[in-house]
Structures are given as structure tokens and as C-alpha cells.
Chains A and B, each alone.
Chain A
Amino acid sequence: MIINTNWLKQYTDFDYSYEELGDRLTYLGLEADPVPNPLASIEKIVVGSVSNVREHPDADRLMVCDVFDGKKTRQVICGAPNVKDDIKVPLVLPGCQLPEGKVKKVKIRGVKSEGMIPAEDELGLSDDHSGIIILPDDAEIGQDFRKYYSERFGSNFEIDLTPNRPDCTSHIGVARDLNVLTENELKIPDTDFEEDGDEIEKYVEVNIHDPEACPRYATRIIKNVEVKESPQWLKDRLKSIGLRPINNIVDAANFVLMETGQPLHTFDYDRLNGEEINVRMSEDGEEVITLDGEKRELDDSVLLICDAQQPVAVAGIMGLENSEIIDSTTNLLLESAYFNPARIRYGSKYLGLQTDSSYRFERGVDPENVIYALNRLTNLIVDLANGQVCTGLIDNYPKKIEQPQPKVRFSRINKLIGQDFDPDWVVDKFEKLGCKILDKDKNSVKVESPSWRPDLVREIDYIEEVIRIYGMEKVKSSRTIKIQPDYSRNDRYNFNRVVRDKIASYGYQEVYNNSLFSHEEKDFNLFDLEPVKIKNPLSRDLAYMRTNLSSGLVTTAADNINRKNRDLRFFEIGKVHDLNFDKDNKADEYEHFAMLLTGNLEPVSWKYGQRRTGDFFDLKGDIQGLIQYLTGKEAQFVDSEMTKENYNQIVKIVIEDDILGYICQLNEELLDDQYNVEEQKVFVFEGSLEILYKHFTPEINYQPVASYPAIERDVSILVNTSTRVGDVMELIRNNGGKHLQEVQFYDLYQGENIQENKKSLTFNLIFQNPERTLKDQEIDQQMNIIFNQLKKKVDAKLR
């Protein structure tokens, strides 16, 4: 909402500078953003007077005129249709930099021109190019046009109004709030006019069919008005806040709206059918044509203003074409009403139509200001358009809206703010706010809220007023803050942080992907979750809550690969959802973590030459390392017995009896078809963070370091190529006796010197007894047991 400084001064005195005023308003909770002045950076324009307008000897449409700039007379060429003798205009002097370019002394078809008379668009004031700007006669010749302009039009603020402050949707409202600070008197314009027509009851009767939707409806009738152009002062006011003047009647109604915050409507009385106004709810399917020319179909819940036959306005939102003021209008019916805010919000939303009027009604106008605004408008119209005001007014207000009367305890104010306030100061400020003081003692004050402040209902609302008027900035910051001991450690939030740091330390980059995805497209759903559908999605691609993190990681990786970043390690930690109708929120929520690896593991190195390409075993190792680090446990990698089109192989990862997750290689055809990624292998892991947290063991149990020497043995065997190394290691471990400490697999060989269907495996075994030195004989015996078992179980041959 735009507030103009000149306009504001009409209702209150203040001597703040523009910047100070903005700060004061902002600190009152009326966030005031400065509106840049279009003339701010334009110099060299003065007020001049035009004389001796004559035709250009050599150009049909151009005129030559003399313009006196206060010091000398300049010859200026002008092509505007409205240039004439004895007018005052802004004169742009040579050298002036306008938005469109620099003005220079020129010769046009042999005649020199020493300046320019601008139209509004040429100064960036509006987009009007219909003619030059003509200034009122009282403009002082020779003065800086910028100064003249800002004195005449003032400066603007854009107020970002919070929804609880409908009282400040007008200049009087803002002035009233400002006065609580400055303690100035509010200057409310008088509404003197003569009632010299017939009794109003002769012309109209008002029936409110739904008093809840329309608690108050008031009207006056003015006869024999003259519809014409508004006077300069009124046009200036409207133009200063960016409104386009239309005619004196419409302009007067708009002016009073911006002045008082009360939206008003003017009907052409002669275009109404019958002598009645009916305020009623629309019927389902009813159609109206609003002032903007749109045909609109209604449901059964939009409030309408109707004459004896048909709707003439959508209440509080917009008038209809059928009763609009036109040039021939002579008799007026004025409307000033209080409509239920929720009703107007509904209608505005239903029609997708927000107007200056609906903006105010849906926040709640002042129900006790309805008559003042009606009289103010009547007063203005009589002044501007003559006319006779019918005697009396109709004020249909069946049930007075009572204002709340809360009791405010001084101790409560102090307790909540943390600073002691003087009760007299508090009561004084409440009075300044417009409250009635009903009762007061040393502990509390009972107030009746002003009718323009629907937000002041409870004690707490008044405590907010205390801090607002005193100034939040001035409230002392406490010298200390209390700290509540928090003994929790390694909670879920911190656990996630540990996981994140560890995975990043392995060389993975953390990414964030959207939680919303398109479920239909690709199936990465390893945990078989049922996706939760959004009723009102942004698009079909974002219609479900994700069931997995892998699809996002793969898309992110593919996008990078397509940008020629081929060596990637990404990870993400995030929530996934599973539809569950038994839950209040219709979903089970799980937290997953996922890792993706593709391309080379390190940059080219002068020292190591060939780069290592990451594969399944690198990803597996990272996961093993992570599990070791967080749980101290060894994970099992087992067949998943699961097939998904997206994956070549799926290996399940188990910690004790819990499924942690899956590690997979992506199907290469899918990569090519769906992601345009060729000749690159992509490996993905996705797991449950809850399971990892369940096994999280941050404690370390120290084991004494053995002081007796360890004995190492290597064993090389030949086995069938189909024998799994993991099974062989398991056999060695199970048969190694109690002194076998470690088994390392360190060489896998197939090829030359070895039978075709055989492979050579080499293990390093470490034996140790913490209590004594082991004898070679003991180890030899144990090695025999191991080898016999290998021979028996996997048909191994010693090499």
C-alpha cells in the first residue's frame, strides 16, 4: 500500500525527514520501503512560461514558442497538440540528462531550439505521452522543477502491511498511529453540507438478507450532480499514489477510500430497478458482468448488492457495469458498509479478484467509521459536483458490533517484556491509541478497544502495543541469558552430522535433491515404499514424495556427466516416505543415506600414472569403513534375491539381523536410454540411517596390546573360478583356532600358468597368543587343519 507524505501531512503535523519518517513507521510495525523518486537524478529542469506560440515555417506539425525561464527567454520547438500561449511548463534546459537521452541545443529545419518541453513519459513520471505537462498558474517561474514537483506531490512509501493492521490501510489510519508517537492531534476533515432534497425514504429502502455477512449498510442519495473532470488538487492527490483520475464522482470515492480506509461505492440511481437495495447471497450459477468487463459465474456463497431485480455489485469487491457512473449520470446512490471479512475473502478468492476495496474489507474495516466516510464522500461530491443531498440517511445496522474489553495487568506486561513500565505511561498510551479506559487500579487497567483495531482483543494484544509504542529497539537486552543444561549427546541431529563428515572425508560431495519427484518415471525403489501423492502438485514431475534418494542422485550424476564432469562421488542424507493410511499424517517417514560413485577416483598424478577407476569394491569398501567407524561391527554382504530393471546386480548389506541397505550397479541400457550416459559405470548405495543409528556405538573398549610376537603365514591355493573368496575366508576364519587374529586376502590371479577354470588366491594369516610366544609346531598343526578343510569344502590345492 502506498502512503504519500504530503497527503499524510493533511491529517497530522510532523517534522521528520523522509528517512526518519520511514524509520518511525518501520519501528511501529508498518514496514516502510522508500519508493524511488523518478526525478531524483535529473538536473536542469526549471519552471517556465510560454508565449508567442507560432507555426514552424518549414514543418507542419511543429510549433515554435518563447519560453521564459526566469532569467531569459529561450526559443523552443514543440510538437505537442496542447502547447499554447500563457501556460506554465517544465522547461528542460540543454545539457539535461533524461532517461531517453541528453537534451542539446539543436536546429530543426533551420530553426534553433534551446531546450525542450516534456511530456510525463519523457521524465519517467508515467507512461502518458498525450501532451506536454502543463503546470498550474501559481507555479513560480524559474524555480527548480524537481523542488516544485516534490513540494506538489510529496514522496511515497510502500507499506508492507501485516494482516493484523487493517486500521493502517489509509492515510488517516497511518497518521493516527504516528500520532501515538508524536502526541499530535489528528486533523479529521469536517463534513458540512446541507440536506436540501426530499426525504431519502422516498427513494430507497435497504434490506439486508444476511446480517452475518453484512452487519451494516448505510446509504445516501444525491440528486442533480454534474459529472466532470476533477479539480487539480484531487487529481494531484490520486496521481501522487499512482491512481488514474477518472471523473469527479469516482475520484471522490477513491479519495475517501485512501483517506479513511472505508471503501465506498457510487451507483447511478437512475439505472437501478425499483426503489430498493437488497444485500443477499448469490445463487449457484448466477452470472454477473463486473466493471472490468468480465463475465463471472458465481457459486452460492458470494455476497451481492442487488436492486429490485438484479445484482448491481459484488459486495465489497467490484461494482457491475449495469449501474456504473457514466457521463450522463445525474442522481447518485452512495454505499458505505461493513461486510464480514471472511465473506469478502471468500468472494475475492473465488473470483480471483483482489481490489483496493476487497483488500480492506477482508482485513476488517472500522464498523463505526461507516457513517463518517459516507458523509465525507457526500460532502466532497457536493463541493465538486453540486447536487442536492436528500434529507437523512439510511443506516441499516441491526446489531451493534461490541468491542472487546480486556483487563491488562501491569505485572504481566513487566513479566513478559522483562522490564518495568510505569502504569501511568501505559494507561496514557492506551488512551492515545483510542481505547476507552473503563476501570483502573494499581494492578491493572480495563479498556475497551477502539473499533478500528480488530486485532486488540486480549491482554497479550495490549502487551504487544506497549512494546510497539515504547519501541522494541529501546527494550533493554537482558544482561545474562539462562542456559539449561543439556546432557544429551549423540542425538539424531548430531549423529547425522558425524555420518555426513565421515562420508565427505572419503571424497564424496554432499548434494540436496528435491523431496518431490515423479514416481512413474523410474524405479529406484529398493525399499519398496508406497509413494505419497500430492493433491495439488506444481507439475506432474513433482507429484509424489520421494521413496528413495537414489533416483535423485542418479539424475544429479547424469546432469554432471552430460556437462562433462565424469568423475563423481555424491551422497545425500534425507527423508523418504511410505504411504500408511493408519497414521494421522498418512505416512511412515524414514531417513535414508545414499552414495553414488562413478568414473575415476583421483586426478591424473605424475607419481602414480594411470588413474584408478572406481567400481563396486571401492563403494563397498567405503561402506565397510563407515560401518566400522560408527558401529565397530562387520557388515555382511549377501544375495538380495531381488531383481529390478534399473540394476545389474543388487547386493544386500546386513548388520547383525538388520537390513542396512543395498549396493548396486546401474543398468547400462537404462543409463543410455534415460540419461544419455554412455560407456560409464555407475554404482549406487542406499541405506537406512535409522538402522545405522541403532547400531551406533560411540564407545571404544580398549584391548591390551599383546606383548608376545605374532606369527605370520602366507597361504596360496588354487580353487575353481566359481568359488567365492568370501566363503574361503570364512572357512579359514572358522578353522583357524583361537589364536588366529587376522586373515588378509591380498592376491587374486587367473591366467598364464594356471588351469583355465582355476584361480589362485593368496592369504596372509596372523596368529597371536596374548599370554605366551606361539611355537611353530602349533601353527603348522593349525595350518594343516585349515588346509584340510579347504581341500574338503572347496576342493582347494596348495600352490
Chain B
Amino acid sequence: MDIFDEVKDSIDQFHQELSELDVEERAIEDFRIKYLGKNGIISNYFNKFGQIPNDKKKEFGKLMNSFKNEANQAIESLHQKLNEKQTKQEFFDYTLPGVKPVEGSIHPLSKTMDDIASIFQDMGFSTELGPEIETDYYNFQALNFPENHPARDAQDTFFVDDKVVLRTHTSPIQVRTMEKQKPPIRILAPGRTFRNEAIDASHYCTFHQIEGLYIDEDVTFSELKTTLYLFVKKYFGEDVALRFRPSFFPFTEPSAEVDISCFKCGGIGDDCSLCKGSGWLEILGCGMVDPNVFKSSGIDPEKYTGYAFGMGIERIAMLKYGIDDIRLLYGSDKRFLQQFKQL
């Protein structure tokens, strides 16, 4: 091979290696020695100068000088790059704030409702919805409220006309479901409800409930207890104790109220502001579906039994998040809502 071709190959090789070279001190030095060192490729070619025919010497000299210059420049620029790189690394200020996404938030009532619903959905409850404006029949009559029950007073209920009310609870959904579906029925009924109450720190005319209903051939109070134990432990925590005590609702019998041990004072009571010293917090009402409710929906109370339970979302949310004024939940301040970004 002609020496000129050899040099040209070396130049190509030089370019190739240069393009692949890491900008690292060690690699640059090795590269320099390989081409520009005392025994480097370029020196070796210069050493062969004597063997070049005279008429080609000038051409050869020009080629080699340009190769050497190019190599020198390349090394110099590599050093500069290395320098730059090192400088840059030293000044990289990773403490500058990250660019955060703008996050929205889910309202605490939605969160509470969803968290509760999820637990029961996992237990096979499906969701049913119903209208907020209800007939007297679904809201009261079919639920075994006697004609002169205090809840039917205008002081407690909003009326649209004599036979139409804003539903005072989500229980009408029970009746609507029983009318259209044969047992077994296992449903969850979430929704907005209304009471004719003056607005203050603990009352609002609009509020929310969620209730469950299970009807089948052998539903027992004993199973109701287990279901609610499971719910309470999952939602409020394993350490929370609960108790059932007899109560009264027109549409269930036996009826019970469920209290959980106060999670602020741990059930000790004394001067606790949350449980007012009793050590217990009332969280839900429940019971076995009253036979009269079955009858009004055309379900045979001899064949079927059922349980129902219901709770107020506002109350649970306020307990859970330590909110002391129900009005904070409606028409809210951004600074209030912002706190519910967290999962």
C-alpha cells in the first residue's frame, strides 16, 4: 500500500475514534499519546519522511502537518470540553425547586363517601341511587313511619307540596330497590339528603348519607354485627373498639346504634372535647328490616330477613379529619380544599 493511503486511513481512523471518545481525562490522555506521543502514530509517519520520494516530499509534508494540526486542535478542544463539563458539574444546583404539577383536590365528603363505599363494594354491595325529591310514600309511609311521627313535621322536613318532600334520608332507595328487584338484594345507597334545620356549626340543611341493605333467606343480626365490625376496623383502624346498643328507628326492628371508641382520647373520656367525656362516638344506626317495610314492598317477611345500616357522611368526615364546623364543607375556601390533595 502506498504510504499516502496509509496516512489517509489513519486520519479516517482518527476521526472515527475522536467521534466515539468519552470526554474523560484518562481517555483523552490515552488518545493524545496514541496519536501525538513520542512514539505515536504521527511521529512514526514523520520518521518515515526520508523514505518518501523527493517529488512527493512536499505533498507528504503538507498532509502530515494538517493531520498533526488537526490532532492538536482536537486534543485542545477535548480539554476545553472536559473543563466545561467539570465546571458545569460543580455548579449544578439540584436544590432549585422542582417544577411541580398543579394538582386539584377531591372534596372530603367525596373522599369519605368513596372510602366507605369501597369497603362495602368489596363485600359485594352494589350501588343504587334514587331521587333527591321524593314522595311522602317512599320517604315515610313505606318505611313504617306512622302518620303523626314527629319526623313528618314541617320543622324537620322540606315540603314541595303535601305529598312531595326533599328526602330526609337515603332509605327511600331501599324501598325503590325492593320494588324492582327480588331478593337476594345487597345494595349500597349513597346520596344527598335534606333536613329543615337552621344552619350553624353542626347543622346544615343539605347533607349526605350512605346506607346498606341486605335481604336474603337467612340474614341475621349476628352477621350484621360482623359486617359492621369489618367496616369499622377497615375504615377507622384495627384498634378501634365498637359497641352496639338498642335504639329505635321506624323501619328496623331490632334497631341499634353503633358507637366506636373515641380515637382522640382512646376511649378514656375525661375531658375529651371530641367524645364529650363519654369515650364513645356515635357513628351509625342499623337494624333488622321491619316486617312492615317488607310488606309494603311485596316481599314475604316470613321467607326473607334483612339488615340495614346507615351513616351520615358529614359526621364521619368531620370526626375523621377533625373538622369542627360543618359550614366549612360547603361553598368552600380554597385553602380548606387544598388540604385534601393527599391520598
Contacts and interface: CB of A to CB of B under 8 A. Distances in A.
Contacts of A460: 253, 288, 290-291
Nearest to B198: A538
Contacts of B65: none
A60 to B, nearest CB: 45
B222 A417 contact: yes
A160 to B, nearest CB: 10
Contacts of B190: 493
Nearest to B184: A484
A415 B104 contact: no
Given A513-B330, A586-B164, A481 B133 contact: no
A163 B105 contact: no
A476 B117 CA distance: 26
Interface in A501-541: 501, 503-516, 532-538
B125 interface: yes
Given A349-B153, A504-B105, A507-B103, A512 B332 contact: yes
Contacts of A479: 226
A175 interface: no
Contacts of B256: 472
Contacts, number: 238
A31 B280 CA distance: 12
A463 B305 CA distance: 13
Interface in A1-43: 26-29, 31, 33-34
B246 A27 contact: yes
Q: Give the one of A463, A476, A484 with max B CB within 10 A.
A: A484
Contacts of B331: 511-514, 552, 555-556, 559
A556 B256 CA distance: 39
Interface string B107-131: 1011000100100010111110101
Interface stretch (B6-14, B32-40, B55-63, B334-342): B334-342
A79 B154 CA distance: 53
A507 B100 CA distance: 11
Given A486-B124, A538-B205, A510 B334 contact: no
Interface string B220-260: 11110111011000000000000111111000011111000
Interface in B154-208: 154, 158-161, 164, 166, 184, 186, 190, 192, 194, 196-199, 204-206
A560 B334 contact: yes
Contacts of B329: 512
A501 B245 contact: no
A463 B184 CA distance: 23
B126 A488 contact: yes
A482 B330 contact: no
B330 A515 contact: no
B247 A500 contact: no
A565 B334 contact: yes
A617 interface: no
A463 B254 contact: yes
A96 interface: no
A497 to B, nearest CB: 6
A342 interface: yes
Given A510-B105, A556-B332, A585-B133, A26 B245 contact: yes
Chain B interface helix/strand/loop/mixed: mixed
A516 B248 CA distance: 30
Contacts of B291: 458, 460
Nearest to B335: A565
Contacts of B124: 483-486
B332 A606 contact: no
Given A415-B218, A565-B335, A605-B99, A538 B199 contact: yes
Contacts of A571: 104
B51 interface: no
Given A29-B245, A415-B305, A491-B127, A477 B222 contact: yes
Nearest to B193: A515
Contacts of A494: 127
B211 interface: no
A667 B105 CA distance: 27
A418 B220 contact: yes
A512 B109 contact: yes
Q: Give the one of B305, B331, B334 with max A CB within 10 A.
A: B334
Contact of A472 (B99, B131, B246): B246
A481 B223 contact: yes
Contacts of A555: 331
Contacts of A534: 158-160, 166
B97 interface: yes
B106 to A, nearest CB: 5
A565 B107 CA distance: 18
Contact of B288 (A342, A416, A516): A416
A162 B256 CA distance: 11
B116 to A, nearest CB: 12
Nearest to B191: A575
A500 B108 CA distance: 12
Contacts of A345: 148, 150
A468 B107 contact: no
Contact of A542 (B205, B221, B243, B290): B205
Q: Give the one of B184, B190, B254, B305 with max A CB within 10 A.
A: B254
Contacts of A342: 148
Given A486-B125, A510-B110, A538 B186 contact: no
Given A555-B331, A559-B331, A586-B164, A481 B230 contact: yes
Interface string A692-707: 0000000000000000
A480 B290 CA distance: 24
Nearest to A31: B245
Contacts of A162: 247-248
A602 B227 CA distance: 45
A575 B130 CA distance: 11
A88 interface: no
Given A33-B278, A486-B121, A516-B205, A508 B104 contact: yes
B102 A602 contact: yes
A602 B102 CA distance: 6
A21 B193 CA distance: 37
Nearest to B259: A26
A585 B131 contact: yes
Contact of A486 (B126, B154, B218, B243): B126
A66 to B, nearest CB: 40
A584 interface: yes
A577 interface: yes
A603 B331 CA distance: 23
Nearest to A561: B334
Nearest to B338: A509
Contacts of A506: 104
B254 A509 contact: no
A209 interface: no
B277 interface: yes
Interface string A431-454: 000000000000000000000000
Contacts of B194: 515-516
Nearest to B258: A472
Enumerate the 9 nearest inter-chain pairs by beta-carbon distance, A residue then B residue, closest first: A418-B220, A418-B222, A29-B246, A162-B248, A504-B104, A493-B127, A464-B254, A483-B124, A507-B102
18 contacts: A345-B150, A346-B148, A464-B255, A472-B225, A486-B126, A494-B127, A500-B106, A504-B104, A504-B105, A506-B104, A507-B101, A508-B104, A510-B105, A511-B337, A514-B205, A538-B197, A559-B333, A587-B133
Given A27-B245, A586-B160, 7 more contacts: A481-B123, A485-B124, A504-B106, A512-B330, A532-B133, A559-B331, A585-B160
Interface of A: 26-29, 31, 33-34, 162-165, 342, 345-346, 349, 415-419, 458, 460-461, 463-464, 467-468, 472-473, 475-486, 488, 491-494, 497, 500-501, 503-516, 532-538, 542, 545, 552, 555-556, 559-560, 563, 565, 568-569, 571, 574-575, 577, 584-587, 589, 601-603, 605-608
